[in-house]
Amino acid sequence: MPAVSKGDGMRGLAVFISDIRNCKSKEAEIKRINKELANIRSKFKGDKALDGYSKKKYVCKLLFIFLLGHDIDFGHMEAVNLLSSNKYTEKQIGYLFISVLVNSNSELIRLINNAIKNDLSSRNPTFMCLALHCIANVGSREMAEAFAGEIPRILVAGDTMDSVKQSAALCLLRLYKTSPDLVLMGEWTSRVVHLLNDQHMGVVTAAISLITCLSQKNPDEFKTCVSLAVSRLSRIVSSASTDLQDYTYYFVPAPWLSCKLLRLLQCYPPPEDGAVKGRLVECLETILNKAQEPPKSKKVQHSNAKNAILFEAISLIIHYDSEPNLLVRACNQLGQFLQHRETNLRYLALESMCTLASSEFSHEAVKTHIETVINALKTERDVSVRQRAADLLYAMCDRSNAKQIVAEMLSYLETADYSIREEMVLKVAILAEKYAVDYSWYVDTILNLIRIAGDYVSEEVWYRVIQIVINRDDVQGYAAKTVFEALQAPACHENMVKVGGYILGEFGNLIAGDPRSSPLVQFNLLHSKFHLCSVPTRALLLSAYIKFINLFPETKATIQEVLRSDSQIRNSDVELQQRAVEYLKLSSIASTDVLATVLEEMPPFPERESSILAKLKKKKGPGAVPVTELEDGKREGGELNGGGDRGPDSSAMATSNASTPSPSADLLGLRSAAPVSAAPTSAGSLLVDVFSESGSGAPSAGVNDDGFLSSAPPSTASEDPAPPLPEADELLNKFVCKNNGVLFENQLLQIGIKSEYRQNLGRMYLFYGNKTSVQFASFSTTLNVQTKPVEPLVEGGAQVQQVLNIECITDFSEAPLLNIKFRYGGALQNLTLKLPVTINKFFQPTEMASHDFFQRWKQLSQPQQEAQKIFKANHGMDTEVLKAKLLGLGTALLENVDPNPENYVCAGVIQTKSQQVGCLLRLEPNAQAQMYRLTLRSSKDTVSKRLCDLLAEQF
């Protein structure tokens, strides 16, 4: 920028500003401004032509008056005239005035555009930068129409100065954000991408912001940027702080550029080129290693820059979710930050670990920090950090720690901040339902929740506990006894009264044999709360009273007297009055049989997605993580709760509760799938998927050629399903030891999976994400199992979900095929994948002592019962990663069983509907030779062979 000469000080402007500041009142200021406006208007209209300096001074005064909040309706032409000046200071003021005061509808816009074009075509870099800044500041559609084709040429021209390239890149980014349809890179794409190789770091920093934005909208066009970004990142990460002196910030080389490069790489899946991927992994390892080094400066700026790069690197590791070693290292690094004295670092560490907890590879590593997270929940002074700690506890919860986490969250609820109580209540309710090993613990937890935080227990929570109690015969007596005891407290929350009224009205007879909870005692206990409750609760209690008359005829006279009282029969509330009158009449004239029919026990609720989970998803993202994110997803720790609200479409699901489930049954509603009698168990491989909506009107299911149940009629589509992709088996193998992640991704479509299995049942959520800005039309999926159609239209950037309920009938070896068809830009897209449902998903882990293991091992000694493979290690032989994979397999990892401590032994039982297949596994690593020997023994030869084939690909 040229230096400003002494004569450009504009003394008249300084005097005017001083006068304004010295005004004692608003009236004095307005008077001085009006006087100045009159003077400026006379100068502009005078016969004497003004020189450039005078125009600049008066335009500056008008700009200052405008910034004080006064309207300016003249002087625009003089500002436009300044644009043609050859003096920098005059041209600068002209552009400044136009950027602030001229709107896109101005009649002067053509003159302004001509002046900007002249400056852009000049060889003066200062004038070019001024013009580009003006375009970016105005950023209107008219500006985009006029210059969107010109700016890319300036950006990639070989003779353009570096400062101009920086301005051009940022100007183009601004226009693309306001009018993306007008900024078409076309032939400039590859040359813009190659700006990542520019020698000037400032140009690279500006260009990468533009490329990142363009890549998010058009990933396919800019995919070549990945290798260049990795190359540039590698050079920065491996450089010393003295190598990039102009761009080193407190001993950290180019921190802003490093963060932007890492963020750009998060727009794409892991590189397919092995060399590029290896170089990127090296970069990420180097960043993690540098985080462990002692700081080179005690200044906060140094640690901030270093940690910014570290957190972006961890975000990229989480995004890829394919490097177990890096995921575990990232988790350990974040664990160190959990006790850091800097609050912001603790917050960011908790937030990142929430996402790590959803990865199969790092979930166990995250769980090791449970005590630190619980302590943060109790002792952190900042409420936002406490909220992130609660989110992380929710994300890291599984069957092994559910009771501890739920107990700690309940304990914290008593003193929790009011702003997060409702969300905490929802999370406790979801975890209690999802991981309940028996229903009595679930009922105790929810009632305790109501007692501690009743004001924050939404209707969905107490609806849900009633649904589960009604659907499960084995918990009804316990629930009745527990709510009866809870209602005896002197101060009882109204939600507890609602639950108590409903459950005692339905199942009070189950505890009526005890004199301490006789029918009359139950009624008097409920009625003692009646006058303290709101109208809806009183209405519910009146319904409970009429149920009591049916259950306990001896209470009839007492209850009729209550219904007959003036406070009921003449109640000012019409709902209560109507109920009292109708219930009184019903109890008086109806026979016992009629009364029993009208007031019979409520039927089971149909099972659907938990309404509590739906409410949590709607309320917030971080603790409940989505799949876009399987990206920001990634921010939702997807739960797979079954059950739901009663609806008119009650289906065969409801009839599945005819038999009482065992206490270890699944609270997710996975058992609710009615068995399909048509399924021949002799078929080689059968999986069943039954949906709650598939009532009697659903098409009948037959068995197709693959041996899977199929509700789909023979295909009449003009386009047959494509054969499975060449990489289908490789994609399937990625999910043998994990249940969640991205199954498939290309430049158009991302398919994410979240699934959970218990015994021989499973539920899978498929997420289809449109990565483009264009709508997918005629979107359909076809499975060779019974399934529910997916939404036919997927908007640009949107995501649709498909749910599968799965039951394993007998052991199988081939995975179901998933065919996806849709139209993108008029062209039909057709691809087929293998759904990651493998036999090991139905493992039930079995703990065994050393003696029992080897005794059973010897019993399974027949040649057909054993499968063995000796193979070269495909991945690093890291102990923690091996353990994580074996646990992800679904078996129990047995410690101190094998005489050789280097060996791993596992035991489990595969649960199918027709039989149970016991399996024992022994993995013998040879670190020196980088080889494994894998031995599997099971009571069924086909299972041993299939598991051996699957596992050999994992190590």
Which residue positions form the known binding site? Answer: 11-12, 43, 53, 57-61
- Please report which helix (H) or strand (E) contains residue 574, including its range: helix 574-589
Beta strands in 404-459 (DSSP E): none
Rounded CA separation 330/311 (Å):
9
With DSSP H G I counted as helix, E B as strand and the rest as coil, what are the percentages for the chain, rounded to 5? Answer: 55, 10, 35
Measure Cα distances from 803 to 78, 431, 618, 782 in Å: 66, 20, 18, 13
The two structure tokens encoding residue 873: 């290690």
Task: Report the alpha-carbon distance of residue 845 to residue 855 in Å, rounded.
Answer: 18
Residue with tokens 């199929």: 710
Torsional sign, CA 152, 155, 156, 157? positive
**Is there a contact between 701 and 709 (Cβ–Cβ < 8 Å)?**
yes
Q: Which own/partner contact pairs does 347-353 have at CB distance under 8 Å and 24+ positions apart? A: 347/382, 347/384, 347/385, 347/388, 348/307, 348/311, 350/376, 350/385, 350/388, 350/389, 350/391, 350/392, 351/388, 351/391, 351/622, 352/311, 352/314, 352/315, 352/318, 353/392, 353/395, 353/396
Length of the chain: 955
What gap in Å lies between CA 399 and CA 388, rounded to an integer?
A: 21
What are 844's strand-pairing partners?
A: 909
- Give the integer Cα–Cα distance in Å for 843 and 909: 5
Helix (H, G, I), strand (E, B) or coil at 149: coil
CA 274 to chain centre: 29
Place of tokens 């293991």: 853
The Cα–Cα gap between 569 and 236 comes to 82
**Element at 920 (helix H, strand E):** strand 916-926
Q: What is the DSSP letter of 897?
A: -
Residues 928, 94: Cα–Cα separation, whole Å: 74
Q: Rounded distance, CA 400 to CA 757, Å?
A: 15
